[in-house]
């Protein structure tokens, strides 16, 4: 059964470019409820840990540097079929391939600096939510 929670980050590029409000508005407008949220900054160590699954990829160093380059907004979202529906809402990894109207089509600048993160599975949604939030910081 699909879980009803996913995890997102508004990445440093979108924060720097002033898109926090517009992105949260689009997320809410698509029917997601925010059940946890924080404005924070990842250390390089924490960013490396979060993206450890990509450590063998050629862009890993760039990704860690980017994700620790400025503040982010981390949030846990609730909706039926949250993981798949949120991946649809954000669009393809590369904004030039992202469907019109998706968050990445609207706000991302490149394949690396692509405005938002969205969990790719129910298991990862749980792992990623727990990485950023204690149980007492989630308000379902």
Q: Which residues bind ligand GDP (CB under 6 A)?
A: 54, 59, 62-63, 93, 111-112, 114, 117, 120
- List residues with catalytic annotation: 117
**Closest of 106, 114, 98, 93 to residue 27, by C-alpha:** 106
**Smallest gap from residue 87 Cβ to ligand GDP (A):** 8
**Closest of 79, 88, 131, 95 to residue 17, by C-alpha:** 95
Q: Which residues contact 81 (CB under 8 A, 6 or more apart)?
A: 2, 4
The two three-digit tokens of residue 120, written as one number: 């790719």
Q: Which residues contact 131 (CB under 8 A, 6 or more apart)?
A: 49, 50
Smaller CB separation from ligand GDP, 81 or 109: 109
Looking at beta carbons, which residue is closest to ligand GDP?
112
**Smallest gap from residue 139 Cβ to ligand GDP (A):** 26
Smaller CB separation from ligand GDP, 99 or 137: 99
Smaller CB separation from ligand GDP, 40 or 93: 93
**Smallest gap from residue 136 Cβ to ligand GDP (A):** 28
């Amino acid at each position: 059964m699909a879980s009803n929670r996913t995890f997102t980050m508004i990445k440093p590029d979108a924060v720097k470019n002033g898109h926090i409000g517009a992105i949260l508005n689009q997320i809410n407008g698509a029917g997601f409820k925010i059940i946890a949220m924080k404005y924070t900054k990842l250390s390089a160590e924490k960013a490396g840990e979060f993206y450890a699954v990509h450590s063998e990829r050629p862009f890993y160093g760039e990704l860690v540097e980017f994700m620790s380059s400025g503040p982010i907004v981390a949030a846990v979202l609730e909706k039926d079929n949250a993981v798949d529906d949120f991946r649809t809402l954000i669009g393809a990894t590369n904004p030039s391939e992202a469907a019109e109207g998706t968050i990445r089509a609207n706000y991302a600048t490149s394949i690396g600096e692509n405005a938002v993160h969205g969990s790719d599975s129910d298991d990862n949604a749980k792992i990623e939510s727990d990485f950023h939030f204690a149980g007492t910081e989630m308000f379902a």
